[in-house]
Structure 1
Amino acid sequence: MELSQEEILARLAAISQGTAVEAMKITITEAFKDRVVATMPIEDQHRQIVGYLHGGVSVLLAETVASVASVLNIDIDRQLAFGLEINANHVRPKKDGVVRAIATPLHLGRTTHVWDIKIVDEQERLICVSRCTVAVVEKPAS
């Protein structure tokens, strides 16, 4: 049975409770096998010491959308997805407002997925570009 977009988003919101996703106020707004989008406000906990969006927070946002995208592309009854490698280029500073991350696939293999992630501001200006490789592994026997 295929879940509706609303059901997928509701499940993602539920499993995000008590995680870094909730703590950083990340909201998944689209969740498809070939595109995951999330928004995040820039508030005090998102800033580095001189008041701008912390690069590590951008990386957390990027890995979040990549990991969610991989989960949508695996058999969750028998597989898990873990971030394996991530890089990021921070191309524009941002002090406040909301950023949006968009993950699209570059490679969807049997054991690895590679995602292109763009983080943009409200005017669609590029804030950060990232690439994340996600490992797909079999769940351990219980």
Structure 2
Amino acid sequence: MPSFFSKPVLDTEFEAAAHHTMSRQQRACVAKSQDVIRSALLPGEQPRFVLVEDSTGSWVVVVTDWRLLVFSTSFSGVCRVLAFAGYRGQFALEVETNWSTRGAAVVIIADGFRVRFKVSHPAAGRELVQIAELSAEAR
């Protein structure tokens, strides 16, 4: 049983899916949210890519074998609401790059849902888009 002061640890499947640019705090957010994320997965569905919004940590994006899951987080950084799930109808993913700051933002638009979140590394945003599009094509 973990103690109150122990650091949350990512389970194997989340460690494999976590983007390598995520900070220690972002990894802790995912580790604390593993059960919530897992409860949203369908039987047999596995996380393939996990990314936490860089600026405020208010969004966690999970690409699975079949779906794109977007969770909003609580003040403590734990996933609380599954704000968007799936590839229902049309969806758009786009990476906006700010060349002066070298940062980027990912924009997700689907079925009346729109979220824009910052990523420090534009490559992480492009990788998210690529993996999500491949998963959508495979479904």
Q: TM-score normalised to the size of structure 2?
A: 0.29
Greater relative contact order, per chain length (Cα 8 Å cut-off, separation 6+): 1
Q: Is the helix fraction higher in 1 or 2? A: 2
Q: Is the strand fraction higher in 1 or 2? A: 1
